[in-house]
Amino acid sequence: MTLEMVSSNKSFGGWHRQYRHHSETLGCPMRLAVFLPPQAEQGPVPALYWLSGLTCTDENFMQKAGAQRVAAELGIALIAPDTSPRGEGVADDPAYDLGMGAGFYLNATQTPWAAHYRMYDYVTRELPTLLEATLPVSGQRAISGHSMGGHGALIAALREPGRYRSVSAFSPISHPMDCPWGQKAFTAYLGTEQDRWREWDSVQLLRERGAPTLPCRVEVGLDDPFLAEQLGIDTLAEAARAAGWPVQIERHAGYDHSYYFVASFIEAHLRFHARHLGASPQA
């Protein structure tokens, strides 16, 4: 596996770079963005993997969240993969909430999606293996995301907590089995048998597997138009309490689902992760 650099921009003493590579897991070319802080010039640094939401690409977080300044201070690499496989021969759908841009960070089992849509294996296995072998990033990982990406971050941490030091999420789709976005995607990608859905649902994972040991922070805006129908935050809070997982859930009046919300609180999330990653802040 090789990385091809697409672009490189100096930022806060570090480098924002866009790469592409061929993914064996997904069977197609993939693009991703990486911010390397200044500390990476001295050796490998810990990494925060950011999973974006519906309709997004690798660019949304890097261009809109304003995370590079604090990541440079803390010595944390930021890694933003795309949200789905793309390219010629990759299945798609006209709707914004299925197909390209809507991979839901699971491993699809149904035709035609199963041929390429294995985003869970891509973000948790192939991509870290590639980056840790070719870039100055270490195996100390945290994971975070927004909306569909918040769902992806939570399930990755709940399914395999040993791979991460901490997890956080903005406006996550917490109980996809019980919301329209999740039900549509799960039916298409996993089939109609709902027992197959359970391993991709954060609430169900908490109920069935119990709480992981890693720390978790969740941010949600109380003016989010998707809060009541799609996100399931209260159900997540109840499942976490029942499992004994001390999830820090912060609720903010007036904030919505946009990147204005993410940008408002991304510094708090980066500092939260830095405490658990063993990052090396600038002197």
Mean of the per-residue pLDDT values of the chain: 97
- Cβ of 31: how many Cβ atoms within 10 Å? 17
Task: Match 């799960």 to its residue by tokens.
Answer: 186
Domains, the chain, ranges and CATH?
4-277 (3.40.50.1820)
Q: Which entry of 201, 202, 224, 273 is annotated as an active-site residue?
A: 224
pLDDT at 224 over 80: yes
Q: How confident is the model at residue 278 (pLDDT cuts 50, 70, 90)?
A: confident
d(CA 134, CA 182): 35
The per-residue pLDDT for 281 is: 79
Q: What are the tens digits of pLDDT across the range 79-95?
A: 999 999 999 999 999 99
pLDDT at 196 over 90: yes
Q: Tally the C-alpha atoms within 13 A of residue 41's C-alpha that lie toward its C-beta.
A: 7
- Cβ of 244: how many Cβ atoms within 10 Å? 9
Q: How confident is the model at residue 240 (pLDDT cuts 50, 70, 90)?
A: very high
Q: Which entry of 21, 146, 175, 257 is annotated as an active-site residue?
A: 257
Mean pLDDT of 145-156: 98
Tell me the torsion sign for CA atoms 37, 171, 165, 190. negative
> What is the token pair recorded at 243?
């499992």
Q: What are the tens digits of pLDDT across the range 5-16?
A: 999 999 999 999
The per-residue pLDDT for 219 is: 98
Q: Which entry of 23, 84, 144, 147 is annotated as an active-site residue?
A: 147
Q: Is 147 a catalytic residue?
A: yes
Mean pLDDT of 20-44: 97
pLDDT at 130 over 90: yes
Q: What are the tens digits of pLDDT across the range 35-79?
A: 999 999 999 999 999 999 999 999 999 999 999 999 999 999 999
